[in-house]
Structure 1
Amino acid sequence: MAYRFWCGECGFKTPWLSESQGSDRQLEHYEKQHPGIPPGGHVEVNRKNPEGGGCLPVLGIVVLLLIIAAACQR
Structure 2
Amino acid sequence: MTYRFWCGECGFKTPWGTESEAERGHTDHYATRHAGLRPGGQVETAAKAPAAEGASWVGCTMVAVLGLLFLIIVSACGR
Match of 1:20 in 2: 20
Deviations 1:28-67 (A, max 9, x none): 00000000000000000012x17xxxxxxxxxxxxxxxxx
Give the whole-Å Cα distance in 2 for the aligned partners of 1:25 and 1:15: 8
Runs of 4+ more than 4 Å apart: none
TM-score (norm 1): 0.64
Identity between Structure 1 and Structure 2 (%): 53
Give the whole-Å Cα distance in 1 for the aligned partners of 2:45 and 2:28: 20
TM-score (norm 2): 0.60
Structure 1, gaps ≥5 residues long: 51-74
1:1-74 matches, cutoff 5 A: 1-47=1-47, 49=48
Larger radius of gyration: 2
* Residue correspondences, number: 49
Superposition deviation, residue 2 in structure 1 = 0.3
Query: CA RMSD of the aligned region, Å?
Result: 1.1
